[in-house]
Structure 1
């Protein structure tokens, strides 16, 4: 019995060894052989295009919200009851420049103007009276001075006569008293004239106060009316007719329609790449160095457009106004302000809506490279390698350096030369030296040219 069991175990072990050997042999036969090249490999049909330098439109894209370039907020400077409210003072309505939108009861402010005008007239009248008084006093002073001169001559004559006992002492005393009185009259008039300048200054100050009060009263009266300073679109209206308003209260908000702005959050890397295409662009290695480029670079060379987020067919031509201060360290973005002139001119809702506040839009900045560059489809780059058809129509795998990628295109910095043939197909497996049967695809080249110019193929 034991002998039979040992034979059975030996048989099982032997069968297991045979199965293992058979598995190894089968796997060895299934393993692919070494890469073949030359005539031993099967010829592959491939599409190729010639490497051709071409102009390239560098783009930088970001998103942001639209805001008014010229907002207007109507704030009450005076209080009172609303006596007039324009029927079109509602959110979304367009209002022409010069239209009266609101009026606060002007009655008490007109009375204040009348009172201030009366005070000013009184002050000016007092000044004219003072000037006339000064002129009269000067004339009287001249007369009194002449009388004083006569009195002094008479006093001298009487004294001479008294020395010769021709007149009595009483007559001398009388003349001395008369001369003294005349001197007092002259001195009194001179004192009055001396006070005229201070009185004039006092009246001038009174006139200035009256003029200021009148100007304030007139300004208050003017502030009872709210007239559109330019063509506007009403954003928000918060008051109704007959409502009492107080100074400092916001009555309504509106936006000028001559120009709209969009603040676009643009990645620093994209903006830096775009700026490098400017022939006079300063070096900026850090994001902070880009923030004052609008003062050092002519941004008008950069073309720009806005499109409605989610609807790329709805677009507006724009221009780069400035690069706003501030850098978002979290997203590494810079705020670029794009402006659109007369955003309502070409509006044709619903196909082409106007550009209004709080729209979420995509901004695209574009600039053509100063020199032609080598552009290939991004799909033709396989892990930093390009597949080429060499002069013997064999596969060559070459390392390339991609400067940047944009819209399914790759701009090659190094590794490809003009005239070489790039394989457009994805070869699997891609074996160096595989014989090829290349077919030139001119339509692919034209498509790339179109995409490189920033146009839709």
Structure 2
């Protein structure tokens, strides 16, 4: 009875075991998905190697490149001023700003001219007298020779008893008088050069006085040597000014200078990119000219908050390192005489204005990629729809861009999207980056313009702005 009751339980356990074995044998397990089964969607840009002018960015302050300080060179009372004379007014080159009373100098000029005329007349009289003296000396010499021969003839006749002693003595007396006259005339002729030099000196002194008074009269007319903007004006008609008194200061309109500062950390890779491998320059007086010509340095200036850029010439590199900013200063010169000015939009560059600058070097073959595409010294690039890590070779930071110069690849498809995780060989599907691709196109267009001569938005010759009398801007 007990064995019969246990048998159904054992049978149930055996059946359950068989069912579990069958389930384990027929189980397929979780579905495995390979890495290649799905592609990651990313943004990318296509960039290719082309001539690009590398640049470094810095900041600077505008200063006048032409300065004029009007100092009274003669004393006098102010009798006239330029029309509309006020601080900040602009005048063309040659404008007479201040006129001083010149009556005293006109009188002195008339007196000097009279003295010069007297000296000229004295020289003319001296020339006539000199000619007369020389003629008299020549005639006296001839008479003396005749008298000497006559004395010798009478001496022979006296020995023969043909003439008396009184006749011989008379002829000798006349011969001695002619000798005295010859000595006197010869002395006067010998003194002629010194007398002439004295008269010439008197004439030159009188002429110098004439020139001096003419210069003094010219100095009563104070003019601008170049087109300029006036500084403070604190004088008026009727005021007496003394010699050496400062009247006003003016700054030129044709060009301005920018003292630009660029950090040493940025300049180091910039010049390293421009220089040839193992290139050396001999330190000397000509090294500055060699550096500017060899690297073809030029610059652009931008006024924050306003439209447009100004092309600038790199004039010099300063001699010392700024310890505060750890930067090196450059002097840039910006021509302004043909610059298009739009009030409120594109003003002229005024002294003390703070500006941003870019200093360009000669063109190098290279690639531009966004700085955000650099991942700790590596670029994510796509080749045959696969992710590849490309170490960035020699490169230079240029604003939002990374400039890879002397590239080993002519063209790259660079990933601009963040990839987390980023695995080599990862399957990708790329779309053009709507932000960076247009920016890259625009930057390359700007580079093309940089390789052309700068125009500074010049007006046609008939429309070039010239300051009129008392123009204010």
2:324 aligned with 1:328:
no
> How far did 1:225 drift?
0.8
User: Could you tell me which residue of structure 1 aligns to residue 120 of structure 2?
Assistant: 124
**Quick one: distance in 2 between partners of 1:171 and 1:122?**
51
1:47 deviation in Å?
0.5
Q: Give me the whole-angstrom Cα distance separating, in 2, the residues matched to 1:207 and 1:290.
A: 48
Mapped partners of 2:403, 2:339: distance in 1: 38
| Match among 400, 411, 433 for residue 408 of structure 1 | 400
Which aligned pairs between 1:160-239 and structure 2 lie closer than 5 A? 160-239=156-235
Please say if residues 395 and 402 of structure 2, whose CA atoms lie closer than 8 Å, have aligned partners that are also in contact: yes
Tell me whether 1:54 sits opposite 2:46 in the alignment.
no
Q: CA deviation at 1:289?
A: 9.4
User: 1:293: Cα distance to partner?
Assistant: 4.3
- The one of 310, 335, 338 aligned to 2:332: 338
Q: What's the CA shift for 1:449?
A: 2.5
Deviations 1:34-70 (CA, angstroms, capped at 9, x unpaired): xxx9848996844142664333452222222223333
How do residues 76-155 of structure 1 correspond to structure 2 at under 5 angstroms? 76-155=72-151
Contact 2:382–2:413 (8 Å) recurs in 1: yes
1:250 matches 2:246: yes
1:307-365 deviation line (CA, Å, top 9, x unaligned): 11x32x43343232422341324234333333333346411212221223332222223
Q: Provide the TM-score with structure 1 as the length reference.
A: 0.76
SS in 2 for 1:230: coil
Residues 1:66 and 1:299: Cα distance change in structure 2 (over 3 Å): farther
Query: 1:80·1:244 contact (CA, 8 Å) conserved in 2?
Result: yes
Residues 396 and 348 of structure 1: CA distance in aligned 2, closer, same or farther (over 3 Å): closer
Q: 1:12-51 counterparts in 2 under 5 A?
A: 39=34, 45-49=40-44
1:356 is aligned to: 350
Q: Aligned-pair distance for 1:455?
A: 5.2
Contact 2:366 2:405 in 1 (8 A): no
CA contact (8 A) 1:291 1:326 kept: no
* Residue deviations 1:168-198 (CA, integer Å, cap 9, x gap): 3333323322221122112211111111111
SS in 1 for 2:84: coil
Q: Distance in 2 between matches of 1:305 and 1:196?
A: 71
TM-score normalised by L of structure 2: 0.74
The whole-number CA distance in structure 1 between the counterparts of 2:415 and 2:328 is: 39
- Structure 2 residue 364 is the aligned partner of structure 1 residue 370: yes
Which residue in 2 is equivalent to 1:63? 59
| Structure 1 equivalent of residue 302 of structure 2 | 307
SS in 2 for 1:206: helix
Give the direction of change, closer, same or farther, for the CA distance of 1:299–1:241 in structure 2 (3 Å limit): farther
- 322 and 40 in structure 1: CA distance in 2 versus 1, 3 angstrom threshold: closer
In 2, Cα distance between the equivalents of 1:431 and 1:283?
40
Deviation at 1:223, TM superposition (A): 0.9
CA displacement at 1:265 relative to structure 2 = 1.9
Residue 99 of structure 1, CA deviation: 2.3
Once the 2 structures are TM-superposed, how far is the Cα of residue 226 of structure 1 from its aligned partner? Answer: 1.1
Q: For the residues of structure 1 that align with 2:412 and 2:106, how far apart are their CA atoms?
A: 87
Change (3 A) 1:80 1:392: closer
1:347 aligns with 2:338: no
Change (3 A) 1:302 1:44: same
Q: Report the CA distance shift for 1:343/1:129 in structure 2 as closer, same or farther (over 3 A).
A: closer
- What number of residue pairs does the alignment pair up? 414
Deviation at 1:252, TM superposition (A): 1.6
Deviates more, 1:131-140 or 1:171-180: 171-180
User: Does the aligned pair in 2 maintain the 1:294–1:322 contact within 8 Å?
Assistant: no
Deviation larger for 215-224 or 447-456: 447-456
Indicate how the Cα distance of structure 1 residues 421 and 289 shifts in structure 2: closer, same or farther if over 3 A, else same: farther
SS at match of 2:308: strand
* Unaligned segments of structure 1, at least 5 residues: 1-36
Q: CA deviation at 1:102?
A: 0.8
Q: 1:54 to 1:164 in 2, by over 3 A?
A: closer
Aligned counterpart, 2:29: none
RMSD: 3.8
Kept after mapping to 2: 8 A contact 1:235/1:254: yes
Alignment gaps of 5+ in structure 2: 1-31, 448-473
